[in-house]
Structure 1
């Protein structure tokens, strides 16, 4: 991540993303602003997925939901175009990843419903403010994300296991990280696990399923949070005929402030 991109104000960063001039991770960018995961589904599948979010609020913390065909959602920002303001989108057919694309101009349909879900990138700023170091930001790379054996609660046609993001900390800093992130339930809240990765089905911590591997130093423990990539795993299991999500680590940056969603 270039220093110039990390220092851009939100309006300039959003324009670069909209122009397809920036397609990288959004971790550490536009500090102070709520980042969001996206799930875009045909209206016929939207009710089932809404119920899935309600039953799995840690993995899928719902921020907002559009009417069919709408590319805008006023409650997250008047100038946001959902079809163009994410650095990269993933496209799925019958649950299988088909391709990534920098925008949805050619793919948009009038029956598409967008779900805007909270993202753990939003609590990284709070970590930094308390003096914690966030490894993926320090290494200027995407966060490490893993498939797990933690089952989500099924809803309608949707079912599957949780995906988690991982950040390593010393035990003392891990306690502080838990305290900080508990304040942000709309950004996945407190961790779902820390310590031994195999306890949640992760066999090789050095080989994440999504994102980049980060250094885990001696005396550090991996700390795992529910991740907004969970719906992508759920789509592979549930096989809707068509689905669009954000690419892992490449979020929609909203106009809302992180502190609006924090328990103070």
Structure 2
């Protein structure tokens, strides 16, 4: 089935019909992918400002046009370098309640299902939880530049192995906004050979509204970012597959390369434990849009 999922519309349709349940990395190459977080409306202004103040880990793409609107979005995406132009129409026929393959639900700051079975924390839709008071926000996702890396002959390792990208909590503080204080960046990691890091930086740099170039790389970056155990990410799959370990990576000349991650604003919301019901995509299960990277990033590879 995944061979047919070559456009944002086809991925959303498959998710909406419950035919798609896997993570979306590698699907619909060259289409932008987005993280989702849904909040009670009284926190919308603070959250929007959080994104404006932290544009690398929290690039705001779009939001509900009004509280309760799950099928109409206000876009914030403009052609890179043309901020004076109108925002792009990034998606048609959207249903934020159904169009991610999997979701998570939080009540009073607690992940629903975690106390009973940590493996039962994801759901196929959020229709029954959505109210007229909820506001959905779409945040840029680093999956959006993976097609450019693959085109350049540098496919991310997790994609080639059919895994979810590993994501880690760091010690880099977020600039606070209103109730959202005391949180830190989340980063995603893709390993590359040392000699390829500069090329990887050049390829991903133009993707400014989907996190841009790496923020750190090399084994020394693990300690610098405050990551306690690279083999045990807080989200996604562990980086070592098929019996690998650091020894095998060293033999291949691989080093970890870290990007800002759209789980960051979700983590910021969870850290505050705001009252009410909050909803988000399950890590790795994005909403895929209708706009292509070349339309937004003219300088992209």
TM-score range, shorter chain: over 0.9
Equivalent residue in structure 2 for 1:65, among 52, 60, 63: 63
Structure 2 residue ranges without an equivalent (≥5): 74-88, 113-120, 241-245
Cα distance in 1, alignment partners of residues 4 and 159 from structure 2: 13
State the partner residue of 1:30: 28
Does 2:184 match 1:161?
A: yes
Q: CA deviation at 1:175?
A: 1.0
Alignment of 1:3-22 (within 5 A): 4-10=1-7, 11-22=9-20
SS in 2 for 1:103: coil
Match for 1:39 among 29, 37, 40?
37
Number of equivalenced pairs: 261
Alpha-carbon distance in structure 2 between the residues aligned to 1:116 and 1:182: 21
Alpha-carbon shift at residue 223 of structure 1 (Å): 0.4
Aligned to 1:100, what secondary structure does the other structure show? coil
The separation in 2 between residues aligned to 1:165 and 1:9, in whole angstroms, is 24
Q: State the 1:115 CA deviation.
A: 0.9
Runs of 4+ more than 6 Å apart: none
1:140-198 CA distance string (max 9 Å, x none): 11001111111111110012111100000011211111111111011101111112211
Which residue of 134, 137, 141 corresponds with 1:115?
137
Structure exhibiting the larger radius of gyration computed from Cα positions: 2
- Contact 1:6–1:30 (CA under 8 A) maintained in structure 2: no
C-alpha contact 1:51 1:155 (8 A) present in aligned 2? yes
Within a 5 Å distance, the mapping from 1:75-94 to structure 2 comes to 75-94=89-108
Aligned-residue offset at 1:263: 4.6
* Paired position in structure 2 for 1:239: 273
Q: Is the 8 A contact 1:65 1:116 kept in 2?
A: yes
User: In 2, Cα distance between the equivalents of 1:230 and 1:38?
Assistant: 11
Residues 139, 214 of structure 1: 8 Å contact kept: no
Q: Which residue of 2 aligns with 1:225?
A: 259
1:152 aligned onto 2:186: no
Q: 179, 194, 207: which is aligned to 2:232?
A: 207
Q: What is the alpha-carbon distance in structure 2 between the residues aligned to residue 104 and residue 22 of structure 1?
A: 15
Asked whether 1:253 is paired with 2:288, we answer: yes
- 1:243 Cα deviation from its structure 2 partner: 1.1
Q: 1:91/1:125 Cα in 2 relative to 1: closer, same or farther (>3 Å)?
A: same
Q: What's the TM-score once normalised by structure 2's chain length? A: 0.83
RMSD of equivalent CA atoms: 1.4
Aligned to 1:106: 128
1:153–1:6 Cα change, 3 Å: farther
1:52-95, Cα deviation, whole Å (9 max, x unpaired): 00000001101111121111235332211111000111111222
